[in-house]
Amino acid sequence: MIKPRVKICCISSIEEAMTAIAHGASALGLVGHMPSGPGIISDALIEQIARKVPPPVSTFLLTSETRPQNIITHYKRVNTTTIQIVDALEKREYEALRKELPNVKLVQVIHVADESSKKEAIEISQYVDALLLDSGNPNLPIKELGGTGRTHNWEISRQIREAIQIPLFLAGGINKDNVKQAVQVVQPFGLDLCSSVRTDGKLDPEKLEDFFKAIDF
Ligand X SMILES: O=C(O)c1ccccc1NCC(=O)[C@H](O)[C@H](O)COP(=O)(O)O
CB 99 to ligand X: min, Å: 26
User: Residue 39 CB, nearest distance to ligand X (Å)?
Assistant: 3
Contact 215, 6 (CB under 8 A): yes
Q: Which positions lie near ligand X, rule CB under 6 A?
A: 9-10, 29, 31, 34, 37-40, 62, 86, 134, 145-149, 171-174, 192-196
- Residue 99 vs 199, nearer CB to ligand X: 199
Name the residue type at position 44: A
Q: Which is nearer to ligand X, 42 or 99 (CB)?
A: 42
Say how far apart CA 23 and CA 153 lie, in whole Å. Answer: 28
Instruction: State which residue, 30 or 95, has the beta carbon closest to ligand X.
Output: 30
| Cis status of the peptide bond prior to 141, with omega within 30 of 0 | no
Query: Which residue lies nearer to ligand X by CB, 59 or 196?
Result: 196
Minimal distance, residue 129 CB to ligand X, in Å: 16
Gap between the Cα atoms of 187 and 205, Å rounded = 26
CA distances in angstroms from 180 to 4, 45, 57, 186, listed in the order given: 11, 33, 24, 10
